[in-house]
Structure 1
């Protein structure tokens, strides 16, 4: 009965975290990828000549730098196809580097298209594309259930140690601490987003 109550609470928590994630804005854990939203926006900006398409991806203090790079890129694009290709890529690098710096994340280069981002990022983008959040909520619920549920069972299995079994008690404490830390991290993640301070959480999530 207790375990069922735990899984129900975990399900509610996962659904809540999904709603908060979507409210915070589009997923951009793949912001450094060729097929990611930042470079897609950059390509659209260059093709239309509208820098505003990319300014949303950088901090206000960095907008002047991006505007300058954008103007220079448009000028070089006019020279020839090879110059256009090189100028575009240079602009992509500048934009991604500045975007990640604004998140507190390191720049590790432009990443190839089609890389494995894990199921959460894919499901997050899919939810935004389709307008249906339930599949994403289900995925997060299953992930929380698997993680917390497994730790919960481990703690229950180890808590009935004999008072003189110090080694057994230590195993229990190790399992208990890991379990509590996991629960606390999940709860704090939703608290951070609920208070609107999504940047710090986003920065750590994007470093991959």
Structure 2
């Protein structure tokens, strides 16, 4: 996953920030798995107490709470926590398009971005294999290069297909 859920401007930290500001843990709970809820509730309570001790304590408590909720969120995804990432990272075209699709209730832009990317990658990989095919009869090394490109195209296409037909993230 691109650095999104673990970035300081990502949806998890945004919800955690809102939870702290509103003093309402329910803002962050949808982002953590059920089994992580007790830890997040405890961290929320401790962060709330520490925040009352002054601006420096508030900064430390907020950062610790963000790290806790992102770590618990990532564990729910089966992914490691590698620290909070800075805000403003380049997410590429897909995450923003997916966010706009959710806002608009339309898949048009996201579908276009995904289809264009798959089309470009498919054409590039096929063209590479076809160019190597022209020289495949020039020895084992050339044949091997063609075979690797051809099998690479097939494996890549299979992975794209498997990912496209896999269960959704939330299941």
Q: TM-score, normalised by structure 1?
A: 0.73
The CA deviation at 1:199 is 6.6
**Counterparts of 2:2 and 2:27, CA distance in 1:** 15
SS of equivalent residue, structure 2 residue 166 = helix
Partner of 2:71: 97
2:99 to 125, 142, 148: 125
Partner of 1:68: 42
The CA deviation at 1:139 is 1.1
What are the equivalent positions in structure 2 for 1:11-90 lying under 5 Å apart? 29-90=3-64
Partner of 1:186: 160
**Counterparts of 2:141 and 2:22, CA distance in 1:** 67
**Counterparts of 2:134 and 2:54, CA distance in 1:** 75
State whether residues 127 and 135 of structure 1, in contact with CA within 8 Å, keep that contact through their aligned partners in structure 2.
Answer: yes
The CA deviation at 1:92 is 0.7
Partner of 2:116: 142
State whether residues 28 and 36 of structure 1, in contact with CA within 8 Å, keep that contact through their aligned partners in structure 2.
Answer: no
Consecutive unaligned residues in structure 2, runs of 5 or more: none
The CA deviation at 1:88 is 1.4
State whether residues 158 and 168 of structure 1, in contact with CA within 8 Å, keep that contact through their aligned partners in structure 2.
Answer: yes
Aligned CA distance change for structure 1 residues 39 and 163 (closer, same or farther; 3 Å): closer
State whether residues 2 and 91 of structure 2, in contact with CA within 8 Å, keep that contact through their aligned partners in structure 1.
Answer: no
Partner of 2:146: 172
SS of equivalent residue, structure 1 residue 109 = coil
Q: TM-score, normalised by structure 2?
A: 0.87
State whether residues 42 and 54 of structure 1, in contact with CA within 8 Å, keep that contact through their aligned partners in structure 2.
Answer: yes
State whether residues 34 and 113 of structure 1, in contact with CA within 8 Å, keep that contact through their aligned partners in structure 2.
Answer: yes
Bigger relative CO (Cα 8 Å, ≥ 6 apart): 1
Consecutive unaligned residues in structure 1, runs of 5 or more: 1-26, 201-208
The CA deviation at 1:121 is 1.7
- Shifted more, 164-173 versus 56-65: the winner is 164-173
**Counterparts of 1:50 and 1:100, CA distance in 2:** 21
Computed over aligned residues only, the root mean square deviation of the Cα atoms, in angstroms, reads 2.4
**Counterparts of 2:92 and 2:27, CA distance in 1:** 27
State whether residues 7 and 87 of structure 2, in contact with CA within 8 Å, keep that contact through their aligned partners in structure 1.
Answer: yes
